[in-house]
Amino acid sequence: MTDWPEARSDDNRGGRYGRGSASARPEGARVMRQVRRGPAAPPGQGGYGVPQQPSYVDGHGSGGGYDSGYNTGQVYGAPGGGPGGDGHGPQRPAPDWRRRVKWTAITVATVLVVTTVGTYFWADSKLNREVDLSKVIERPEKGEGTNYLIVGSDSREGMSDEDKKKLHTGSAEGKRTDSMMILHTGDNGSTLISLPRDSNVEIPSFVGSDSGKSYPGTGRQVKLNAAYAEDGPELLVRTVEFNTGLHIDHYVEIGFGGFAGIVDAVGGVEMDIPQDIKDTKSGADLKKGKQTLNGEEALAFVRTRYALAGSDLDRTKNQQKFLSALANQVATPGTVLNPFTFYPTMGAGLDSLIVDEDMGLFDLADMFWSMKGVSGGEGTSMNMPIAGSAGGNLLWDKAKVKQLVNQLNNDEKVTVKGG
């Protein structure tokens, strides 16, 4: 009754260690065995058809060919631990700079084209095409190059009483010509010729610009500015063509207020005043030397004649100098490329100009560019050749005028000297 199960001795435990073991070798020092995945056992082996269990080898990495990711820290996927392979997620494609540059260039070009076209139509719509040169009869044949008749009128249209007082224009009704010039442009440079308002001319036969009635010539001699006062721009063109034999291609007119507005819009015009000028009639009070004239001062300067020794002849020279300087200022990059200056200048100029029906923006640009060339020494400025005076009227030197007109019609370099 005392048959107890056979006791296990330590000797029967072999090399196993564990709780109750008498061995001095601690349990923690036992080597952890690895699992080697081997081929599945053939049917009928390995016990009841169960695949062969992994074999165990010592913990020193032996076992012949077992390639486990546990030893390298690789648990999932490719080396690096992430789906992209480098641990930083999917890579963004490199930017296509050629494509970016292409589309940037296309965008800039489109904006420039739209702006240019818009500016053109805006400016073209502001031109006051009020002069019909088709009403001018018996016109001389057209020569080489282009001839512009540029007129400064004393029109006070659109000016307030305060403006008239400030600019010393007076309050006379209607309008008269205050200055007249012919600008010839061609392949041999530009020529700017002043026609003194007191020039003695003959009023030819003409057709009234408004009435359409024919008026025969009677040989009547008047001052040149009287033609404009009698029947406006069309009769003035007719009178200039009749007395010179030069075909006028385009007509451009600007009034007092418009002139001052352009000068102010462009930020003033630098001029070298040849002498002290004080004239109560024009309002000029200028000192000799270089200075920048604003609109009020510029208008007074170009209108002054009583304070000048040569009266109207000296005034026309000052007008030429100033208009050339103004054109030079308008054509500078600082004006053309700066929209805050360019658009106000164009707006002020186009609002105040009166031109013929066939005048286009390119013609206007040609005129300003040519005047700029005159001020830069690429052309000639002169007065119409004068032979003397009679009854307060200036008489043209007919022989020199004929030579001058021939040179202009043939677009030759002008050699005639003016008055």
Q: What are phi and psi of 125, to 5 degrees?
A: -70, -20
pLDDT for 369 = 85
Dist. CA 227–CA 204, nearest whole Å? 10
Burial (CB < 10 A; 0-12, 13-18, 19+), residue 154, is: middle
pLDDT for 13 = 46
Q: Which has the closest alpha carbon to 295: 271, 328, 320?
A: 271
pLDDT score of 58 more than 70:
no
pLDDT, the chain, mean = 78
pLDDT score of 344 more than 70:
yes
Would you tell me how many other CB atoms lie within 10 Å of the CB of residue 327? 20
Question: Confidence band (pLDDT; 50, 70, 90) for 142?
Answer: very high
Q: Which has the closest alpha carbon to 237: 331, 132, 362?
A: 132
pLDDT score of 306 more than 70:
yes
pLDDT for 97 = 84
Dist. CA 323–CA 287, nearest whole Å? 20
pLDDT for 310 = 79
pTM score over 0.85? no
Mean pLDDT of 292-308: 88
Q: What percent of the chain has pLDDT over 90?
A: 33
pLDDT for 378 = 77
Q: Which of 58-72, 95-109, 223-237, 317-331 has the lowest mean pLDDT?
A: 58-72
pLDDT for 324 = 82
Dist. CA 230–CA 239, nearest whole Å? 11
Map tokens 């009287």 to a residue.
226
Strands 250-254 and 146-153: parallel
End-to-end CA distance of the chain: 163
Dist. CA 291–CA 300, nearest whole Å? 14
Dist. CA 168–CA 260, nearest whole Å? 12
Question: Confidence band (pLDDT; 50, 70, 90) for 11?
Answer: very low
Q: List the structure tokens of 99.
A: 């494509």
pLDDT for 167 = 63
Mean pLDDT of 316-326: 85
pLDDT for 114 = 82
pLDDT for 346 = 75
Question: Confidence band (pLDDT; 50, 70, 90) for 159?
Answer: low
pLDDT for 49 = 47
Q: Which of 164-168, 191-195, 290-294 has the lowest mean pLDDT?
A: 164-168
Non-local (6+) Cβ contacts of 160 within 8 A are: none
Angle at which helix 312-330 crosses helix 295-303, to 10 degrees, equals: 150
Residue type, 364: L
